[in-house]
Amino acid sequence: LPTLPTLPTLPTLPTLQTLPTLPTLAISHPDHTLEAGISICNSKTKDQWIDEAKSVMTKVWQWARTQPIKVSLMVIGLGIPAFKAKFMAQHMLDAAASSYATPDEQKWTAMPCFLLASAVAGAWLYILEKFLQAFIREDFYFTMLAKRFADNYPLTCWTGPAMREAFHHVYQSGVGDDATLKTKVKYGKLGASFAVIVGHVVPFMGAQTTIMQRFFLPHPLDTIVSQPFGMTEDLVSMAMAEATSDPVLASASLTILIVSFNLARGLIYTGCPVDEDKNALKTPYVKIPSRSLSSERSFSLEEEEEDSRDFAALASAFVNVLVGLIIGFVVDGSLSIKTAFFVVAFQMMVQLLAVPVVMGQFIQNKGTQ
């Protein structure tokens, strides 16, 4: 096996105060996410966006010309599943409808088992690393091998650059040339967390993100927690899939999922404090190339007091419980499965968008009076 580079001294504490901040903030305050997206769009003119798109396409074309074999394998590898997508989808539907499908009285276990399995997948990386370390006498060996494989395998080669770009986007938004070490570590943790979550959320990136996420988040607790937090959209999809057979269970699952994120945001992850441990301030999680950093912040952290509470998130949790109870009572009536499915979909839109936006504006208006 090749000799792999040794990682720098790593922080001794996990980023459990940083990692869940992003998904809990996105679910509890979708208006903030929308405002940030609009701000990014307005940061450049139409001609500037066109020029940037042309620049990206030019770089992609130049890369494709220098990697003809890799590009050919990528097109074939992605083209076959796309061409056979209908057949594969039908096969999955047939398997789900077979006798091996979960019995109705046990369907409530689907989401807890999914969360448990994803956490085990995150823990297995650390176990495998320590097993190899007993023979190789080097930590992070599997992580570096996995990253090298993902960076060179045609069907996963875009994952590494995409995650690095996500990290730099967040890091540069908060760190200037005169930034303190504490600020660098703060945005380094946030950037590493954001890169891993992006890798889990973006289609066709989840598997390779799992096996190389310790490159960004080396602590074992981070790899365990990042799995379920990075698969939030899968949990919502599972809840909506349940609505086709058991709308009451789907409604309850959605409510529990969304309210959990609201409560986590309001009670635990309101602020994003930085560890004061000196060992944790030695290095950022990944090496940062020296280049000029833009002073314009396209990704901003809320400047909050560490002991403050996000009352809008707590209020959203309370209202979402009421919405879930009402919708659960409605779909438990004599509605058809199709009608109940649309009612549950309406519940999802209300709990994810309407409630947090309205409560956020209400709390903000009350605070300014």
State pLDDT tens for residues 188-232: 888 888 888 888 888 778 888 888 888 888 888 888 877 777 777
Quickly state the pLDDT bin for 289 (edges 50, 70, 90). very low
Q: In whole angstroms, what is the distance from residue 19 CA to residue 225 CA? A: 8
Give which of 266, 259, 268, 267 is closest to 363, Cα–Cα.
266
Q: In whole angstroms, what is the distance from residue 363 CA to residue 31 CA? A: 14
Quickly state the pLDDT bin for 13 (edges 50, 70, 90). very low
Residue 220: what pLDDT?
A: 82
Give which of 278, 267, 271, 266 is closest to 181, Cα–Cα.
278
| pLDDT tens figures, 115-145 | 888 888 888 888 888 898 889 888 888 889 9
**Secondary structure element (H or E) that encloses residue 117, with its range:** helix 110-136
Entry pTM: 0.67
Q: In whole angstroms, what is the distance from residue 96 CA to residue 281 CA? A: 49
Angle at 49 between CA 45 and CA 50, to 5 degrees: 115
In the numeric block, the tokens 């020029």 are attached to 51
Task: Collect contacts of 303-307 with beta carbons under 8 A, ≥24 apart.
Answer: 304/270, 304/271, 304/272, 305/271, 306/271, 306/273, 307/271
Q: In whole angstroms, what is the distance from residue 362 CA to residue 369 CA? A: 11
Burial of 163 (0-12, 13-18, 19+ CB in 10 A): buried
The amino acid present at 354, given as its one-letter code, is A
